[in-house]
Amino acid sequence: MKFNFKPSPNYRDGQSTGRIMGELTLGLLAVFAFSLYYYFTNFSASYGLRAILLMITAIVSACGTEILWCVFTKKDILNSLKNSYPWVTAIILTMMCPLSIEYYALAVATVIAIFFGKLVFGGFGQNIFNPAAVGRATIFASFAGAAAADIVTGATPTSSMAAQNWIINSAEGMSSFLKPFGGLGNMFVGLYPGAIGETSALVILVVGVILAIRKVIDWRVPATYLITLFVLAAGVGLMHGAPISYALFHLLTGGAMFGAVFMMTDPVTNPTSAAGRIMFAVGCAVITIVLRLRSNLPEGVMYSILIMNMLTPLIESLTDGQQIKMKSKNIRNLAILFVAGLAITLLVGSTIKPVAAGSAEAGATNGTETTYNVTQHGFQGDNQFEVVIDTAKGEVVSVKMTEFNDTPGIGDGVNDDYLSQFVGAKSEDDVNAVDNVSGASYTSKSAKDAIIQALNAGN
């Protein structure tokens, strides 16, 4: 007879870390499945296949890095791999990338995410930064141009909004801005171009709710983040007279939904206390919107997570103590954080200016032909066009770019050859029927807008 000694309690809940990470993986794959559906149906099999191959590339790189690490540190490979969950990082990282990313760039970023993001800190549970966010930051910093030229999915809402200085100050402006993406409804469903796994708010929310109910993720973090982000965006919108759809756009675009559900909830890099997690989420929301409004980056979610990761130890020590006694102090600190965040956001929001609507000046007239000089905002600056319209027939006679202020080498794909395609166009639909220049969608759009404006002015 053997009576064992074990410290109490000798009773354990069925939930295990393995199961939590397993369910998280399934949730991520469900979101990925939606993306595959989008690429296979809206584009082609080769696009869908690329998404799958990218995913495999990342997972293989992640697991490979771990295996090499185990070999060098003389650890049991299978056991370490099983308790380190490298594939979760790989899946999240892949889903944050655009489909056009080169395989090698994703592979290198994954290796850096796993090695520098996680293993050097001591492995799973020890890392201070969200590894997937480290990987994505690596791509931003080093592989911004590593995009396959033959993969063209169109402008994303995030980069389009960035081109508008992140503010549109009228309801009409907002709805015409949203039109190419099928409106807010379609953005919620997610059938629009964007990072591979970040577009469908609907699927992410459904998966998030299920994971929250199953206690895989802490519901407080995404709930606080999304509510705060909405309030802050609505505040900025109010200052500029933007409609409520502007604030909702902030929730739907970029990685906001995906980051809230799958990245900010990463327990390893989060504070452990309930109050700390709420502070973390509020901080992420403030940084997200400030980065969106004023930084050179198109997107703020991922960097907001990395920055708040750095503050996690500070938040932890701020909330340490007997939690019932700490409650009033925690509420006070949260209130301070929220008010300060709102103030900073509004201050930053007050400095942004909406992109001026292009102007069409009627110039020389030659019989029925009128020349219009039109200015339209491109990617970085304003481009000027000379559009000649036959006002009798109501069609375009010629288009010429007279001033170019976008990125040399990219935007100048919009040349005379390209612009000649618009000759004879009679309506907005005719203009939009012409494809954008690959990689130069903003410059293309500025040309199209200029032509449409001239057509409208001439009729």
Partner 1 sequence: MSLLTGPMRKHLDGHKELTSHTELVKVEAGSLVYIPLINGNSTAVEVLVKEGDRVKVGTMIAKRNDHFTVPYFSSVSGTVKGIQKMMHAGLRPVDHLVIENDGKNETEQPFGTLNYQTATQEELVSFMMNAGIVGCGGAGFPSYVKYRGCKGIDLLIINAVECEPYITADYKNTSLNMQDLVTGVAAMLKMSGAKEAAIAIKTTKKDFIPTVVEAFKDYSNINVKEVPDVYPMGWERTLVYEITKKRYEKLPGEVGVIVNNATTAIAFGQALSKGMPITHKYVTVSGDGINTPANVLVPVGVKAADVIAACGGYSGEDVLLIAGGPMMGKTITTDQFVITPYSNALTVLKNKPVNQVACLRCGRCSDHCPAGLQPVRINQAEKSKNVAMLEKLSIMDCIECGMCSFVCPSKIDVTEGVRRAKRYMALRAKK
Per-residue contact string for residues 25-64; x = within reach of partner 1 by CB under 8 A: ----------------------------------------
For residue 197, give both structure tokens. Answer: 């796994």
Query: Least Å distance between CB 206 and partner 1?
Result: 22
Residue closest to 380 by CA, chosen among 411, 416, 401, 414: 411
In the bound state with partner 1, the residue whose beta carbon lies nearer, of 102 and 218, is 218
DSSP state for residue 7 in the 8-state scheme: P
Chain mean position to CA 382 = 25
Cα–Cα distance measured from residue 342 to residue 232, given in angstroms and rounded to the nearest whole number: 6
Q: Report if residue 144 touches partner 1, rule: CB under 8 A.
A: no
Q: Report if residue 316 touches partner 1, rule: CB under 8 A.
A: yes
Which of 73, 125, 335, 380 touches partner 1 by CB under 8 A?
Answer: 125
Are the CB atoms for 275 and 336 separated by under 8 Å?
Answer: no
Q: Report if residue 23 touches partner 1, rule: CB under 8 A.
A: no
Q: Report if residue 73 touches partner 1, rule: CB under 8 A.
A: no
Per-residue contact string for residues 216-235; x = within reach of partner 1 by CB under 8 A: --x-x---------------
Query: Least Å distance between CB 435 and partner 1?
Result: 48
* Burial class for 1, CB neighbours closer than 10 Å (0-12, 13-18, 19+): exposed
Which of 47, 69, 87, 124 touches partner 1 by CB under 8 A?
Answer: 124
Which of 53, 213, 274, 314 touches partner 1 by CB under 8 A?
Answer: 274
Strand partners, 383: 376
Q: Report if residue 363 touches partner 1, rule: CB under 8 A.
A: no
Q: Report if residue 321 touches partner 1, rule: CB under 8 A.
A: yes
Residue closest to 223 by CA, chosen among 250, 251, 200: 251
Supply angle C-alpha 29, 31, 35, rounded to 5.
105
Query: Least Å distance between CB 208 and partner 1?
Result: 16
Query: Least Å distance between CB 304 and partner 1?
Result: 20
DSSP codes of every residue in 323-378: HHHHHHHHHHHHHHHHHHHHHHHHHHHHH--PPPPP-EEEEEEETTEEEEEEEEE-
Task: Tell which positions 250-269 bind partner 1, by CB under 8 A.
Answer: 267-268
Query: Least Å distance between CB 270 and partner 1?
Result: 7
Which of 18, 183, 363, 424 touches partner 1 by CB under 8 A?
Answer: 18
- How many angstroms separate the Cα of 114 from the Cα of each of 62, 104, 143, 189? 6, 15, 17, 32
Chain contacts with partner 1 (rule: CB under 8 A): 1-13, 15-20, 83, 123-126, 215, 218, 220, 267-268, 270-275, 277-278, 316-317, 320-325, 327, 330-331
